[in-house]
Amino acid sequence: MAWSWFILISWFICILTCYYIIRPISIKLVRFILTSFLCILLSYITCQNLPRFNTLALLTIVICWLMSIRLIALTSFSTRTPLTFQSFLLKTLWMCFPILPKKTAQNQWPIIYSIILIIIKLLINHWIYRWFLKCEMGVSYQRIFIFYLSLMTISYVIEIEMIFVRILTLDKYTLESFTNFPIFSTSLREFWGRRYNRIMHTIFKESIFEPIRLEFSSSTIGALTTFIINGLLHVHIVLGSFDDKSSLFPTFMFFLLHGIACSIETKMKIQLPKYVGWIITFIFLLITSPLVVKPFLDKRFIMLNPPLFFDVEWIPKLPPPNFCP
């Protein structure tokens, strides 16, 4: 517990230092180097000796990276934008509390519909988990599809929090949704840019893509840089959470290939029919997914991380199939 408090206090001191000491420095490169050094040092300390195959360890790495990305962008590239310390702090911590006005949010159903959707997602997610428990794990296209479905349904956790925020604020504020029906994506750019993992997308767009695009006057460089940094983040997850050195290069290649593919899409002048775009998008996702999912389909990771409310007796238990994917 003492070590946890030390980590939290150190990050707060880092934020103070970035705002009051580094941000006023006139030379952009100096601001970038100093902020990057502090963030890398603190991330290294925070992510030492994390438990293997643990969701909290994975989230710790993600939060460190996202906070660092936010801090570097706000300190190095946004100095012309006037920010109070309160707004600087809230922007840095936004990924932990992704609150936004309801009128600007997507997929804001009436609360009763959201509750029904949560129940459906919870039942499906628990059903998939029980199915995985009874089966041997390994990478196959069937298991990749089921794992993808599990990712889409685990968002019930965020949606429960979203309902509480909407009730407490009299429906004026909500949380950023985890996804925006990625199954309807008709291009890779739509999948990554509008529909999948909206929280990470917002941070990457505001803190990497836009600053790089403005710095180099090139959307292609901004997009490739964003995917490369996302790849490095996931490489750290694979190493820090799974200690799986064999998956480091494939994981990075997955994001690099998707960055290249999205850049090619941007340059294409041909407008494909939507159903053709949908087919091509998900064929590409399916073909490249084995590069990145192997650690997450490890039996140890699945067994050690049951979904929320899994042991609650009164929640209905859908029987898993008698065959394995």
From 75, 18, 25, 22, select the one nearest 42 (Cα to Cα): 18
Please give the pLDDT value at position 107.
65
Confidence class for position 1, pLDDT limits 50, 70, 90: very low
Residue-averaged pLDDT of the chain: 90
In the predicted structure, residue 218 carries a pLDDT above the cut 60: yes
Please give the pLDDT value at position 3.
58
Contact 198, 179 (CB under 8 A): yes
Q: Which two tokens stand for residue 109?
A: 């159903």
For the chain, what percent of residues have pLDDT higher than 90? 55
In the predicted structure, residue 90 carries a pLDDT above the cut 60: yes
- The alpha helices in 107-182, defined as continuous H runs, are 111-133, 141-153, 156-168
- The tally of CA atoms less than 13 A away on the side-chain side of residue 126 is 20
The tens digit of pLDDT for each residue in 219-275 reads 889 999 999 999 999 999 999 999 999 999 999 999 999 999 999 988 887 777 888
Domains of the chain, by residue range, sit at: 1-96, 98-325
Please give the pLDDT value at position 171.
83
What is the Cα–Cα distance from 227 to 189, expressed in whole angstroms? 12
From 73, 152, 143, select the one nearest 117 (Cα to Cα): 152
From 88, 42, 81, select the one nearest 65 (Cα to Cα): 42
What is the Cα–Cα distance from 126 to 294, expressed in whole angstroms? 21
Residue 170: in which H helix or E strand, if any? Answer: none
20-39 mean pLDDT: 94
